[in-house]
Amino acid sequence: MIAVTGENMKAIDNYCIEKLGIPGIVLMENAALKVIKNIDLNKFNHFTILCGVGNNGGDGLAVARHLIVKDKKVDIFILGNIDKGSHDFMINYNILKNMNIPIKYIDNKKDLKTLEESLSKSDMVIDSVFGTGLTREVEGIYKDAFSLVNQKGKYILSIDIPSGMDSDTGKILGIAIKPNKTITFQLMKKGLVDNKNLAGDVIVEPIGMPKIAIDTVLNTNKDH
């Protein structure tokens, strides 16, 4: 099985969106449905969903919507400044606002209390803070939130990459979520292979990216 870097994945994403005309939100919705597919809905009924403000966070918001539609209890927390929200993150954010779904924001230490309350009641944590877009050490309130989740989370599912892990090298940048399971999209990531013992059970789920996108990007890269 091939394993790619975050950069490869971004290039494949962009090929699908720019060259083939598959809207990013379609890929994001496909991704969310593949996460739902891997949750035993007879076993898990109350979810703590921790979202960043990039497309990984957008995935988490779409998963939240599908769980709400299935009458699950969902506590949504956003880490980061939504003014910096990515385009596709904002689409899913606005849908939940239009549905009058309460969303909590973790900006400082006092907000950790509500996160802790949710963690004490929920039976699954969904980690959608960072994916392939992690660019630097995890610090401050992110670090506090991650250690709280690692301590109190009963069962943790990470979307695409355990947040805080570098998708290319598997290195932990300061601190990373320690998931029981990671659902990674379309292709295995090099970091998940190199640091498999910190990603839990890793499942690769295709999200509808045509072969032409993958082959073109990976073959052109091979030529360099």
Ligand X SMILES: NC(=O)C1=CN([C@@H]2O[C@H](COP(=O)(O)OP(=O)(O)OC[C@H]3O[C@@H](n4cnc5c(N)ncnc54)[C@H](O)[C@@H]3O)[C@@H](O)[C@H]2O)[C@@H](O)CC1
Q: Which residues are annotated as a binding site?
A: 55-59, 127, 131-137, 142, 160, 163
Q: How far is the CB of 112 from ligand X (least distance, A)?
A: 16
Convert residues 9-38 into a mask of x (bound to ligand X by CB under 6 A) and - (unbound): ----x----------x--xx--x-------
- Least distance to ligand X from the beta carbon of 114, Å? 20
Shortest Å, Cβ 48 to ligand X: 18
**Whole-Å CA distances, 192 to 53, 138, 208:** 22, 18, 21
Cβ-based neighbours of 199, under 8 Å, separated by 6 or more: 158, 161, 162, 165, 179, 182, 192
50 binding ligand X? (CB under 6 A): no
Please, what is the angle between helix 55-69 and helix 87-98, to 10°?
Answer: 30
d(CA 96, CA 124): 20
130 binds ligand X (CB under 6 A): yes
Q: Nearest-5° angle of CA 204, CA 207, CA 212?
A: 105
Binding residues for (6S)-NADPHX: 55-59, 131-137, 142, 160
Q: Identify any residues that bridge with 46 across adjacent strands, giving them in sequence order.
A: 73
Q: Is 133 helix (H, G, I), strand (E, B) or coil?
A: coil
Say how many C-beta atoms besides its own lie within 10 A of residue 163's C-beta: 28
Q: Which residues in 108-127 contact ligand X (CB under 6 A)?
A: none
Is 87 an interacting residue with respect to ligand X (CB under 6 A)?
no
The binder of 78, among ligand X, K ion, none, by C-beta within 5 to 8 A per type, is: none
Q: Which stretches of the chain bind K ion, using CB under 5 A? A: 127, 158-159, 163
Q: Which stretches of the chain bind ligand X, using CB under 6 A? A: 13, 24, 27-28, 31, 52-57, 59, 80, 84, 86, 88, 130-138, 142, 159-161, 185, 207
